[in-house]
Structure 1
Amino acid sequence: MDKILVIGSVALDTIATPVGAKKEVLGGSATYFSISSSFFTGVNLAATVGEDFPKKHSSLIESFGVNIDGLETKKGKTFRWHGSYVDDLNCAKTIDTQLNVFADFRPNIPKSYLDSKFIFLANIDPDQQLFILNKFKQSQLIGCDSMNYWIQNKRSSLKKLMKKVNFVFLNDAEAKLFSEESNILKAGKYLLSLGPEYAIIKRGEYGAALFAKDSILLLTPAYLLETVCDPTGAGDTFAGGFMGYLSKAGRINDTAVQKALLYGSVMASFTVEDFSVNRFSGLKKKDIEERYKKFRKLIMV
């Protein structure tokens, strides 16, 4: 079982939802992805934080078995994000973003990470994503995420990146923006035309769509919950469960990828039940398997 390397952000989030509010809790794309993946496989994390980053947070990440040798502490303040879901749980309203030490993020890749066969490039500058990939020659599976800002401002670099990845994860708004299509089927086909073997379009409370070879392999709903507490990090948690399962399975084919989509959805359903990564504390593998079986039964005809 090969470890997954995730490169992204570790942050402090201030969040308001209809359920409540939290100030400067643990967040960041690499945080959510790594903890989610850790339930399936070993994880190496590369990110940067400031001198003000609480030791308890790095200890928490490490407690899930995540290797944080690549978590670099730099002089300055940690990346902070302040968002609100009070008006719409499907769409975060950004109140404030302070990049701080993340503004000039150049990941520290320890030598022990260089043999990573599975890599996830979380939402960072696509030029940085391309730079990072040049360090790895033997990778078997590469996934990436992006966002509207990079699609609008680094389209050319993002297209180059698409030729080098196996999986691309975008939400429906991002996929439509990148493809300049209003239909997710056409958007999925466009993404595949750029090079990835699989395209995953995340649709929030409406689930996810998996595309391969100009067809929809699987279209799933989200796992239904009575209460959603905090949607922050759900997409990165989804990607973590997805790629974590594939690493554990040790194979990449349509059947394995379909199962990965379900596991990604299940992991995302856990994270939204509480703020930050709190829901993962005390979560057991048997809890994941029970929800996976229930979810699979619900969507089968």
Structure 2
Amino acid sequence: MPVLVVGSVGIDHIKTQTEDHPELLGGSASYAAVSASFYAPVRLVGVVGNDFPPQHRALYEAKKIDLEGLEVADGETFRWTGQYEADMNNRKTLSLALNVFEHFSPKIPASYKSTDFVLLANIAPALQSQVLDQIEKPKFVVADTMDLWIEIARPDLLALLKRIDLLVLNDSEAKALTEEGTAIQAGKKLLTWGPKFVIVKKGEHGAILFSKEKLFVLPAFPLDTVFDPTGAGDCFVGALVGYCASKGDASFATLKEALVHATLVASFNVEAFSLRRLEKLTKAEIEARAVEFKEAAGLA
């Protein structure tokens, strides 16, 4: 089954302590769509300017991502420049220009409206709700969010939770949103606010999948080196939804396996800048790492 991915599409300039890479493909929808494409057909909705580089569009096309919903507006594409410290968990934004994304209003093509699996990538919750207003009875809706929306758009986010099946966020965001002291308390509380499932990401300590009846804890895949963590969370949620769509199912058992694949695709993504690693990644590499990961985690 296809996956509908709605989110930001941008051009990034990423700096680390040792490297400097301008004009990279970025945005939550880019990372999520490419990751989902390893498992299922993808339909992308976003907006770019008329300066959007043809090589970035070519990457989408190489992954057979449907671009009918990618709007080209008169102006410049959303741009972000960020710099990572020696500890890759810490980064700062050097510049941010919303450009055409500032007035983005998702327009879902008629051919997309019956899509069963919907990923509301990390954009304002009001925009995420606008997407759901245009979709016909989706089977499984996943929403990603971040601390900014918790701080400035809390009412919109709480309203959205009543309309989705799975919420994905990290542990600090979960605790901030619920005002609970632990990730376990936060995850359980979030389930009472609408979603059937919640995934709380804990970075290098893995992730926790919550339902009202069950809980599943998965460690992270151990990596020696991280080159660029940008978009890892978007890759995680994209692969997760793509895997569920490939099975046509979103049960707890399927989500457990999807969580493994989400962790693995995100682990590949950080091995190079932007989407360069995923551009060359094969399903065989994912499957080989899955065997290694399951044996190490005691899941084999």
For this pair of structures, how many residues does the alignment match?
299
1:96-135 matches, cutoff 5 A? 96-135=95-134
TM-score w.r.t. structure 1 length? 0.96
| Alpha-carbon shift at residue 88 of structure 1 (Å) | 2.6
For the 8 Å contact 1:208–1:221, the answer to whether it is kept is yes
TM-score by length of 2: 0.96
Matched AA of 2:170: N
> CA-to-partner distance for each residue in 1:243-283, whole Å, 9 max, x for gaps?
11111112222211110111100000000000000001221
Unmatched 5+ stretches in structure 2:
none
Quick one: distance in 2 between partners of 1:196 and 1:289?
A: 30
Matches within 5 A, 1:13-24: 13-24=12-23
Aligned-partner Cα distance in 2 for 1:172–1:20 = 29
Match of 1:234 in 2: 232
- Identity across matched positions, percent: 42
Match of 1:276 in 2: 274
Which residues in structure 2 correspond to 1:148-227 (within 5 Å)? 148-213=147-212, 215=214, 217-227=215-225
**Separation in structure 1 between the aligned mates of residue 185 and residue 57 of structure 2, nearest angstrom:** 41
- Moved beyond 3 Å, runs of 4+: none
What letter corresponds to residue 274 of structure 2 in structure 1?
A: S
RMSD over aligned Cα atoms = 1.3
On the 8 A contact 1:4/1:43 being kept in 2, the answer is yes
Shift of 1:15: 0.9
Runs of at least 5 residues in structure 1 that lack an aligned partner in the other structure? none
Q: 1:287 aligns with which of 261, 285, 288?
A: 285
Q: In structure 2, how many angstroms separate the alpha carbons of the residues matched to 1:191 and 1:98?
A: 33
* 8 Å contact kept, 1:189–1:214: no
In structure 1, the residue matched to 2:241 is 243
The change in CA–CA distance for 1:182 and 1:214 in structure 2 (over 3 A counts) is farther
Displacement of 1:182 in angstroms is: 2.4
Q: How far off is 1:17 after superposition? A: 2.1
Structure 1 residue 166: Cα displacement = 0.6
Structure 2: how far apart are the matches of 1:184 and 1:19?
A: 34
Match of 1:85 in 2: 84
**Rounded Cα–Cα distance in structure 2 between residues aligned with 1:231 and 1:152:** 23
Preserved CA contact (<8 Å) 1:192 1:214 = no
Q: 1:214 and 1:188, CA in 2 relative to 1: closer, same or farther beyond 3 A?
A: farther
CA distance in 2 between partners of 1:214 and 1:88 (Å): 37
Kindly state the Cα deviation for residue 77 of structure 1 after the two structures are TM-superposed: 0.8
**Which residue of structure 2 aligns with residue 39 of structure 1?**
38
Between 195-204 and 10-19, report the one with greater CA deviation. 10-19
State the AA in 2 paired with 1:45: L
Residues 33-88 of structure 1: per-residue CA shift (max 9 Å, x gap) = 00000000000000000111101101111110110111111111110111122243
Q: What letter matches 1:241 in structure 2?
A: A
